[in-house]
Amino acid sequence: MTKEEKAGAAAFLDLAGDYLSGGFRRERGKYAFKDDREGDPREYAVSRGSGPGNNRFTGDEETAPDGRVENGDSLEAVAAEVSRCKRCGLCTTRTNTVPGEGVSRPLVMVIGEGPGADEDSSGRPFVGRAGQLLDRMLDSRGKIGLSRGNNCHIANIVKCRPPGNRNPQPDETAACVPFLVRQIKLLRPKIILAAGNTAAKTLLDSSQGITRLRGTWTRFQGTFLMDGSFDIPLIPTFHPSALLRDESLKAPVWEDLKLLREKLCELDGDYAARMAETPL
Ligand code: SF4
């Protein structure tokens, strides 16, 4: 079982105990649960109902109760389905699909909006000027110490390029998000960095813009997906393409990256030890 599943079961048992003992709510200490196993993320289950052909993703309806693999889902399977996908109109204008790339057990999953021209022609996420800036932001001369080659995974809300780099339409986002959900479940990142307006608003199911949302920790719990299986710290920041247009955004992004580093130091001892040798 995952720690979230154990916490849910404990809360239910506490509630049942209170009910059976007369209905009084008793004060209890905090439980400290751990996942039963830390293995290859591809050993964990995702929903068979999350692929193309389903208009509404409802989470765990076909997931094994213990969160283990039932259907052998994998990042490769997601990428293969994406490559064939015709669930929305973006399939008619794409050159390549762009499922995402990076390590399979990331400290941080960076989620952007969608592929641009360079990504559409290469099939890789964040490879144009904005992508190169993202790589520099994530490393920040070793002070943040993140990279897609070592400890990050990078993906987008939609996997095909919106023509002219327009924002994805709501129906396109709704059609594509199930792929992202499967990726998050497989990757189990310690932190999600939502890059830009579309990613932040979609993941947080918020009508507020990135200027209001950025720089504040929240928890991605998949509520907009009717999926309670997520509990991942999430911080939104500006999209690197916005920094290319407006250099004044570099200062708030640096503040956000420092918050990211601080949180990662709390969550990962190896990262904390590495950062202890690299003061800000
Ligand atoms: S954007 Fe997503 S849902 Fe639309 S065609 Fe591409 S992969 Fe399919």
**219-262 residue pLDDT tens:** 887 766 656 678 899 999 999 999 999 999 999 999 999 999 99
pLDDT grade for 69, boundaries at 50, 70 and 90 = very low
**Average pLDDT over the chain, rounded to an integer:** 82
Q: Which residue range is the domain that position 24 belongs to?
A: 1-35
Distance CA 173, CA 90 (A): 10
Distance from Cα 202 to the centre of ligand 1, integer Å = 16
Is 137 within 8 Å of 256 (Cβ atoms)?
no
- Alpha-carbon distance of 35 to 214, in angstroms, equals 30
Q: Give the CATH number of the domain where residue 111 resides.
A: 3.40.470.10
Q: Is 259 in the pocket of ligand 1 (CB under 6 A)?
A: no
Whether 5 and 108 share a structural domain: no
Residues 98 and 27 in one domain: no
Q: Find out whether the beta carbon of 158 lies less than 6 Å from any atom of ligand 1.
A: yes
Looking at the structure, do residues 49 and 136 belong to the same domain, yes or no?
Answer: yes
Q: Higher model confidence: residue 66 or residue 200?
A: 200
Q: Is 222 exposed, middle or buried (0-12, 13-18, 19+ CB in 10 A)?
A: buried
Are 37 and 2 in contact by the 8 Å Cβ rule? The answer is no
Q: Which helix (H) or strand (E) holds 220?
A: strand 218-220
Domain count, the chain: 2
**Contact 88 CB / ligand 1 (< 6 Å):** yes
Is pLDDT of 70 > 90? Answer: no
**What value, to the nearest 5°, has the Cα angle with vertex 265 and ends 253 and 222?**
70
**174 CB under 6 A from ligand 1?**
no
Q: Are both 18 and 125 inside the same structural domain?
A: no
* Closest atom, ligand 1, to C-alpha of 175: 3
- Structural element, H or E, at residue 237: strand 232-237
Predicted pLDDT of residue 60: 36
Note whether 188 and 60 are same-domain residues. yes
Q: Is 77 in the pocket of ligand 1 (CB under 6 A)?
A: no
- Which atom of ligand 1 is nearest the CA belonging to 91? 5
Name the residue with the closest Cα to ligand 1, atom 4.
88
CA 4–ligand 1 middle distance (angstroms): 30
Cα–Cα distance for residue pair 220/265, rounded to 1 Å: 19
Q: Is the CB of 177 under 6 A from ligand 1?
A: no
Q: Is the per-residue pLDDT at 119 higher than 80?
A: yes
Q: How far away, in angstroms, is 252 Cα from ligand 1 center?
A: 32
Residue 10 pLDDT > 70: no
Specify whether 257 is located in the same domain as 237: yes
Residues 149 and 112 in one domain: yes
- Contacts of residue 111, defined as CB under 8 A and 6 or more positions apart, other chains included, come to 154, 155, 156, 157, 180, 192, 193, 194, 195, 199, 203
Instruction: Please state the rounded mean pLDDT for residues 76-98.
Output: 98
Cα(123) to ligand 1 centroid in Å equals 13
Beta carbon of 176 within 6 Å of any ligand 1 atom: yes
Question: Does 14 share its domain with 106?
Answer: no
Which of 56, 84, 86, 165 for mutating ligand 1's site (highest number of atoms within 8 Å of CB)?
A: 86
Same domain, 144 and 266: yes
Question: Above pLDDT 90, what percent of the chain?
Answer: 69
* CA 74 – ligand 1 centroid, Å: 18
List pLDDT tens digits, range 33-54: 554 433 333 222 222 222 322 2
pLDDT for 134-170, tens place per residue?
A: 999 999 999 999 999 999 999 999 999 999 999 999 9
Is 104 in the same domain as 195?
yes
Please indicate, yes or no, whether residues 98 and 222 belong to a single structural domain of this protein: yes
Question: Does residue 197 surpass a pLDDT of 60?
Answer: yes
For residue 83, report the distance from its CA to the centre of ligand 1, in Å: 9
Q: Is residue 25 domain-shared with residue 101, that is, in the same domain?
A: no
Q: Is 75 within 8 Å of 239 (Cβ atoms)?
A: no
Is the torsion defined by CA of 199, 200, 206, 212 positive or negative? negative
Residue 104 DSSP code: S
